[in-house]
């Protein structure tokens, strides 16, 4: 199946983590990668690295700036190669957090993502993607799409990110 978590609300990464935990609890082999995000920034990264070992990778270069396109593109390509290796190893579920963000900035190409979707299907691997602004072509290919909508967020009232909540 192809599952997508999208929308402007908080919780897309948390949904991906929850999906990983659910699959692990059912004995599935899970790999979890994060585009754009550097490792050791968030609590879920610590736990996923502990649970998944080599099947977890946060390969991002941090905050994206157009002037750093080549650096970010290489980091995205690195994670894509890692994901393909995980498919070769026969994982049951491949979760790629912030895929849509990387796609929307041109760090991943549509044909690369389409090929990954097809390869996952061909190998019987569930693929979970997340990020904002899911393209229509991906919605049409997906089995499940969840839209996480922001109703209220503390940032709007000037609040700051809190450990264990946002990271």
State the DSSP string of 79-114.
HHHHHHHHHHTT-SEEEEETHHHHHHTTSS-HHHHH
pLDDT digits (tens, 9 = 90+) for 99-151: 999 999 999 999 999 999 999 999 999 999 999 999 999 999 999 999 999 99
Report pLDDT for 62.
81
Band of pLDDT at residue 67, cut at 50, 70 and 90: confident
pLDDT digits (tens, 9 = 90+) for 72-98: 999 999 999 999 999 999 999 999 999
Q: How far apart are CA 167 and CA 162, in angstroms?
A: 7
Report pLDDT for 85.
98
């Amino acid at each position: 199946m192809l599952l997508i978590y999208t929308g402007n609300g908080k919780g897309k990464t948390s949904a991906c983590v929850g999906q990983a935990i659910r699959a692990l609890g059912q004995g599935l082999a899970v790999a979890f990668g994060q585009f754009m995000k550097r490792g050791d920034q968030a609590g879920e990264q610590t736990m996923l690295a502990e649970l998944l070992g080599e099947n977890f990778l946060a390969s991002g270069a941090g905050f994206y700036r157009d002037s750093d396109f080549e650096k970010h593109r290489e980091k995205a390509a690195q994670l894509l190669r890692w994901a393909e290796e995980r498919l070769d190893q026969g994982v049951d579920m491949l979760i790629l957090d912030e895929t849509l963000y990387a796609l929307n900035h041109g760090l991943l190409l549509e044909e690369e993502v389409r090929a990954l979707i097809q390869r996952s299907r061909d190998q019987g691997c569930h693929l979970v993607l997340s990020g904002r602004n899911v393209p229509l072509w991906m919605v049409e290919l997906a089995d499940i799409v969840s839209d996480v909508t922001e109703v209220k967020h503390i940032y709007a009232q000037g609040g700051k990110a809190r450990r264990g909540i946002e990271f």
